[in-house]
Structure 1
Amino acid sequence: MSHAKPLLIELGTEELPPKALDTLAKAFFDGIIAGLKQQAFGIAEEDQGRSARHFCSPRRLAVYLPWVTTEQPTIESEVLGPAVNVGLDADGQPTQALRGFATKNGVAPEQLERIVTDKGERFVHRSTRPGQPLANLLPQIVEDALKGLPVPRPMRWSDHDYSFVRPAHWLVMLHGETVIPASLLGLESGRLSRGHRFMHPQAVSIDSADSWLEQLRGAKVLADPVQRRQRVSEQVSAAGKTSGGQPRLSDELLDEIANLTEWPVAVACAFDREFLEVPAEALVTTMETNQKFVPTFDADSGRLSEHFIGVANIESRDPAEIRKGYERVIRPRFADAKFFWDEDLKTPLTGYQPALAKVTYQQSLGSLWDKTVRVAELARIIAGRSGVDAGAATRAASLSKCDLLTRMVGEFPELQGVMGRYYAQHHGESREVALALDEHYRPRFAGDAIASDRIGQILAVADRLDTLAGIFAVGLKPSGNKDPFALRRAALGLARTLIESGLVIDLPATLIEALELIPEAALIAGLKPAKGKPQAEVVALDAGARRQTLAGELFDFVQERLRGYYADQGFSTAAFDAVLAVRSPDLVDFDRRLRAISGFAGSPAAASLIAAQKRVSNILRKSTETEDGQQDRPGSHAIRPELFESPAEAALADILDKLSRDNSERLRQADYVGVLERLALLQGPVDGFFDEVMVNAENPAVRANRLALLESLQQQLLAVADISRL
């Protein structure tokens, strides 16, 4: 085996986009690994305590491998040629086929060998090619890895004809202590890296691949993103203690700050207390989103304090100047937020309702006010059926989009709902209405909780029902990766709200009601005439039939969103499909069935009953074909005890009759665990029936009676789920 050394590749650039930095670094690492493996170089991702890693900072992408061979292994190849009887003519001379094969492999026909295969004797060309050095192939591997990076809009700079995510300035490629020559992105590789832009602007000559990380640390660059995150966290915590507050540093903000700094230093700052009159969410959004500052909360009350923490990319000799700069930057932003707040308070939310009619929601679906009216009607219907104050639900729905027109939400769209709650509280709306204006947007993201209050839950359901019904109606349902209206998220949010809140509705029927509120013009807009058919035929289609079709599509769409939801909780695909086959219209009921059937699947009786259900389904499916080719009506056979010819038939009939009576009440109470526990009583009678009874008896009456028994058995087995799918 050839000698092996650690490998370092570092590309230096202008400041890279912080939110894409980790993705770019990982993709660069994966590309290098893939290229080395494709070229058969030996690599180790762990060696003597050193690990293969990708590194990055705002101005660099780097890959380190602790062990890479200096050259490829010797490559031996064996290429089969034509059969001997094809390669030689009657006189034993090479045929055209053999000469062509030899020429293709760069040898004379007489240099070819013969081997015996399972298809007879054939010519073969064997060759040995020495492996190439890493130095010869690494430049192309690196170039391919760079081309494979997920860069949606690459930049060009100077008069070069190449491009990259940002202009590139230096390239280090070291195998051990040896520079590997390469020319990429207009750069010649070497051992010169660069330190911190301000604290160590001089070039840094890297001694070896193993010394790179520590040499950069000496030049005030923490190239390890893990170490940078840790330093940011520690610095922020220490700065928070100086002000006596509790910093709130989210993972997202931590990642962004770490990717904006090469040598992070936290600075404790403060703003004027008068700004605390503005809702905390607005101030926090300004700090985190616009300025990348860390807000600080009072340790006792949990309220936002006037202290905040900025993270500089420099260890300044005069931190007070940096503090002044941060405080000077944040003041006008907070002043704007206070102005928006004060101005918005002058108009009650109801004052924005007329303006909603002037804002288009979707061309065929009308304005935001049109949507509000539809949502309010759905909320009224659902609340009335759920025993909830329909007036409060309707009031919340009528105000739910008003804050979109406020100055604050116009500046900070992410505060939609949050500001609605504050404005509603200020103008005397009830607590439950105000809370619903905020929480009906929940869940806002994966892992977010649903609305905590019943009015908010009903409004969340109504809003998503209208969105799904309307966008499906106009023919803009998701396709492939395209989902511009975030309907998949809306469907999952709808399903989660119903299931996790225990809100019981007949979803297909409610979808029909949502579609009935959609204008018929929108239903027509979503239809396309068949090829060669006039538009008039589309217009003439029955709107009711169109709504029925769309409701079925929407119900399937919502249920399918639950597949991943339950998979994340550990439920099997088989159990999910077993319950899906029942098409329960109530998702709370769906959830109960799934949890019951998942427990049943591992019980001792399950395997026998699953096999029985499969066998019953096959028998009944074949038996429905009558002699004239028509389908016999399922359930048309009546059980007649006088036709029993075996004790096994009577035993099965007795237990089925008992289960039918026992389980009817359990099914009404959705006690699916109890139903399945009772099904275990079927195991013995079912096994006995199939052991002793021939279903397809010659006597038609006896055969029909036995099929009736199987139909009754199937009804019991399908009472909770289609267990044949387990």
Structure 2
Amino acid sequence: MPQLLLEFFSEEIPARMQPRAEADLERLLSAALKEAGLGWDSFRTFAGPRRLGCVIEGLPAETDAVREERKGPRTDAPEQALAGFMRGAGIDSIDQCEVREDKKGAFYVAVIEKPGVKTADVIANVVPDMVKNFPWPKSMKFGEDEKAQRWVRPLQRIVCLFGGEVVPVEVFGLTAGNVTEGHRVHGPGPFTVNDFADYTAQLEGEGHVLLDRKRREEIILAGAKKVCAEAGLELIEDAGLLTEVAGLAEWPVPLLGQMDPDFLDLPPEVIQLSMKTHQKYFAVRDPKTGQLAPNFVVIANQEAPDGGAAIAAGNARVLSARLSDGRHFWDNDRKTPLSDMAGELGKVTFHQKLGTVADKVERVAALARELAPSVGADPDLAEKAARLSKADLVSEMVYEFPELQGVMGRYYALEQGEPAEVADAIRDHYKPQGPSDAVPTAPVSAAVALADKLDTLVGFWAIDEKPTGSKDPFALRRAALGVIRIVSGTDSAISLRTILLEGFRKQYIHIASRFAAFENITLLDSTIDNGIVHLEIAVSSQERKVGLVKAKFSFEINETSDLLAFFADRLKVHLKDDGISHDVIDAVFALGDDDLVRVTNRARALQGFLDTEDGKALLAGYKRAANILKAEEKKDGEGAFEGDLDGDYAPVEAEEKALIAALDQVRPAASKAVEAEDFEGAMAALAQMRAPVDAFFDKVTVNDKDETLRRNRLRLLAMIRKAAHTVADFSRIEG
């Protein structure tokens, strides 16, 4: 079956846009061809600095013919109905229809036959529209009138071959042909091509163009490691940089360059980021010391006659200029104490409704001090680290390299003699910033990281800026997962509800104080009690010559439950890889426990129990008991069967006696185990109920005609339910 080869040849396409452009090309063209009724065997895309294209194998020569029957009105229908039917069916006369009959009489049927369309014609129609509406993140406009282009860079040629024949696609004043170009230096061409095999052979041979992006990445990585190994050095791999440089070179040639070793006294992060961000170089380390070497790897886009010596030397000079800027920032920043930098944070807005970064730091510092004992940190060090944590945001180095926030703060703190715990907390309090990022476990770092994330979550909840659907502009899901991972990693006993309430109190006090400052209001005192914030204020007005007036008011914090539910959802995501199902998390959270470590341990134990035969059987017995109780409570009232058995009740059946004995043993054992946070022990206690519960349901009639028997047997079911609820709300578990 015929092959389609499509190539858009232009000026340089930004490397960061190429992977997405490949995906968009496949998505848009696939949709258009499918809509036309076409299928294929394989679809492959490719992209590079100057071209974007695809090859589709196994397209049919034309679309299938279509035969459609459309039922019409009765033969005796009014003329208006017949006219509407003919318009809809696209026919000129009712005589073109067949007459058929059913039980209700004769009616018209229009038989519409559409011949197949040549695939080349379909391509000629869909490609121009796709090109004009291609979703480049940033596009440019070139030319005027009908030749005006809107493309990422000026489009110069289009290759469009179907079955070896040119499809004369016309767009932006260009007509597609069978001519392409190769490497600017080594093999510019032009080349006339017949199909994809010929296209590939000429470009990758005489044209010196490697089409496949993944192959270019492999060549770059292998070549970079080779030139480093030959010099006794080691490449510092960077997957993101590898993808980017593969989009910059059609014929990549890795070269080892030398930098001025005097720059090695700069922080290694500054050197690496200067290389990566500004120059697209790979950093290199000395394997003997593990430290940066005075070298770099640059990816040239050509094989130079001198082996690349001049290219490497030129890049070294450019790198020296960049690192000289870095040294200037480094020297200037070290002249200013971090405490002075922190004093400038009042000029930096965190969020219009949440105040400045200085306001946030005040809240985080107070929260870090309160959290410190829970994670084993010194409260004074935690507060100090929090107060300095954002200071480097106003430094020259972080202004130039925002990625180094926290990292530079640590260096400046150490330079100024701050304790190592404080310096490390400044660097680590942003972590974890993703699923693969390390979690801060040092006590002071954990306290500040938790405080920072909790303040962010509480703040945006307070102003109703919550994530919606796939939108999460303030990365609140990541912040919540960060809290969960830190608490789990440090095994800290923290009441989430208590700390969230305290966070909300600080947020509302801050919001009130901002309003108060404008209205000549002074905040005298603030407390929190069971979710109620109490504020005491003083009001003064010189204009009205009114003395100081004191007032108190209180309000309830309503957002805590919503935020706790948000944490429950994040915990489900966090524990999913451990095989813990979402309903198990719901069942544990339903008990009102807000200690993340305890909730996690209980959920793991419960999931393990439910995965056993005892667990499955007990869950089935619980469901049966709960369903019977639900039905009977509709008659007798909710909670009608809670409580002990009648004092003089004498069980009749042996299975009933066995269940009573089991409950008398299991309930205290499970409660004691839960109290000791021995959740595996609690599950083991529950497992002892399996056999008695099964036997009870097999042999005993619960809704006996005797009211005494019925009432007490239903109380037994309520005891089963209550025993299960010692460890989790089993009603929330599916199955």
Q: Same fold (TM over 0.5)?
A: yes
- Give the aligned partner of residue 67 of structure 1: 58
Q: 1:579 aligns with which of 588, 600, 603?
A: 588
CA distance, structure 2, for counterparts of residue 185 and residue 543 of structure 1: 65
* TM score, norm. by length of structure 1: 0.89
- Give the aligned partner of residue 48 of structure 1: none
- Give the aligned partner of residue 241 of structure 2: 253
Q: How far apart are 1:418 and its partner, in Å?
A: 1.1
- Give the aligned partner of residue 652 of structure 1: 659
The one-letter amino acid of 1:230's match is: E
Could you say if the C-alpha distance between residues 542 and 513 of structure 1 is closer, same or farther in structure 2, counting changes exceeding 3 Å?
Answer: closer
Q: How far apart are 1:423 and its partner, in Å?
A: 1.8
Could you say if the C-alpha distance between residues 546 and 569 of structure 1 is closer, same or farther in structure 2, counting changes exceeding 3 Å?
Answer: farther
Q: How far apart are 1:62 and its partner, in Å?
A: 0.5
- Give the aligned partner of residue 550 of structure 2: none
Q: 2:85 aligns with which of 101, 118, 121?
A: 101
Q: Does 1:640 align with 2:646?
A: yes
* TM score, norm. by length of structure 2: 0.88
Q: Does 1:348 align with 2:337?
A: yes
Q: Does 1:202 align with 2:189?
A: yes
Runs of 5+ consecutive residues of structure 2 not aligned to the other structure: 516-530, 535-553
Q: Does 1:157 align with 2:166?
A: no
Could you say if the C-alpha distance between residues 60 and 120 of structure 1 is closer, same or farther in structure 2, counting changes exceeding 3 Å?
Answer: farther
The one-letter amino acid of 1:43's match is: W
Q: How far apart are 1:127 and its partner, in Å?
A: 3.6
Q: Does 1:709 align with 2:706?
A: no
Aligned 8 A contact 1:646 1:693 in 2: no
Could you say if the C-alpha distance between residues 116 and 420 of structure 1 is closer, same or farther in structure 2, counting changes exceeding 3 Å?
Answer: farther
- Give the aligned partner of residue 537 of structure 2: none
Q: How far apart are 1:525 and its partner, in Å?
A: 9.6
Q: Does 1:676 align with 2:683?
A: yes
Q: How far apart are 1:687 and its partner, in Å?
A: 2.5
SS in 2 for 1:43: coil
Q: Does 1:689 align with 2:689?
A: no
CA distance, structure 1, for counterparts of residue 338 and residue 104 of structure 2: 85
The one-letter amino acid of 2:652's match is: S
CA distance, structure 2, for counterparts of residue 523 and residue 658 of structure 1: 55
The one-letter amino acid of 1:170's match is: R
- Give the aligned partner of residue 612 of structure 1: 621
Q: Deviations over 1:452-480 (max 9, x none)?
A: 32221121111111111122212322334
Aligned 8 A contact 2:75 2:106 in 1: no
Could you say if the C-alpha distance between residues 524 and 715 of structure 1 is closer, same or farther in structure 2, counting changes exceeding 3 Å?
Answer: farther
5 Å-filtered alignment, 1:529-544, equals 543=533
Q: How far apart are 1:328 and its partner, in Å?
A: 1.2
Q: 2:380 aligns with which of 391, 395, 399?
A: 391
Q: How far apart are 1:58 and its partner, in Å?
A: 1.4
Q: How far apart are 1:650 and its partner, in Å?
A: 2.7
Q: Does 1:262 align with 2:250?
A: yes
SS in 2 for 1:422: helix
Aligned 8 A contact 2:255 2:312 in 1: yes
CA distance, structure 1, for counterparts of residue 533 and residue 372 of structure 2: 27
Q: Does 1:382 align with 2:371?
A: yes
Aligned 8 A contact 1:523 1:543 in 2: no
Please identify, of 330-339 and 636-645, the stretch whose mean Cα deviation from structure 2 is larger. 636-645
Please identify, of 284-293 and 477-486, the stretch whose mean Cα deviation from structure 2 is larger. 477-486
CA distance, structure 1, for counterparts of residue 193 and residue 201 of structure 2: 10
Q: How far apart are 1:229 and its partner, in Å?
A: 0.9
Q: Deviations over 1:37-94 (max 9, x none)?
A: 222224111xxxxxx3110101111111122111112222222223xxx2247xxxx9
- Give the aligned partner of residue 177 of structure 1: 164
Q: Deviations over 1:270-316 (max 9, x none)?
A: 11111111110111111112211000011122111111011122222
CA distance, structure 1, for counterparts of residue 715 and residue 603 of structure 2: 28
Q: How far apart are 1:31 and its partner, in Å?
A: 2.1
Q: Deviations over 1:671-706 (max 9, x none)?
A: 323322332222222223334444455666654433
Please identify, of 680-689 and 216-225, the stretch whose mean Cα deviation from structure 2 is larger. 680-689
Q: How far apart are 1:325 and its partner, in Å?
A: 1.5
Q: Deviations over 1:535-561 (max 9, x none)?
A: xxxxxx975686531221221122222
Q: Does 1:548 align with 2:532?
A: no
CA distance, structure 2, for counterparts of residue 79 and residue 180 of structure 1: 35
Q: Deviations over 1:544-600 (max 9, x none)?
A: 686531221221122222333333444333434433434430111222122223222
SS in 2 for 1:517: helix
CA distance, structure 1, for counterparts of residue 556 and residue 510 of structure 2: 13
CA distance, structure 2, for counterparts of residue 147 and residue 614 of structure 1: 60
Q: How far apart are 1:321 and its partner, in Å?
A: 1.9
Aligned 8 A contact 2:148 2:172 in 1: no
The one-letter amino acid of 2:623's match is: K
CA distance, structure 2, for counterparts of residue 409 and residue 176 of structure 1: 56
Please identify, of 420-429 and 695-704, the stretch whose mean Cα deviation from structure 2 is larger. 695-704
Aligned 8 A contact 1:10 1:172 in 2: yes
Q: Does 1:301 align with 2:284?
A: no
Could you say if the C-alpha distance between residues 614 and 242 of structure 1 is closer, same or farther in structure 2, counting changes exceeding 3 Å?
Answer: same
5 Å-filtered alignment, 1:580-595, equals 580-595=589-604
Two-structure CA RMSD over aligned residues (Å): 2.8
Aligned 8 A contact 1:177 1:209 in 2: no
Runs of 5+ consecutive residues of structure 1 not aligned to the other structure: 46-51, 527-540
5 Å-filtered alignment, 1:2-151, equals 4-45=1-42, 52-82=43-73, 86-88=74-76, 97-98=81-82, 100-102=84-86, 104-106=89-91, 108-114=93-99, 122-146=107-131, 149-151=134-136
The one-letter amino acid of 1:416's match is: Q
- Give the aligned partner of residue 534 of structure 1: none
Sequence identity of aligned pairs in percent?
35
The one-letter amino acid of 2:156's match is: H
5 Å-filtered alignment, 1:242-641, equals 242-318=230-306, 319-520=308-509, 522=511, 543=533, 548-624=557-633, 632=638, 636-640=642-646
Number of equivalences: 693
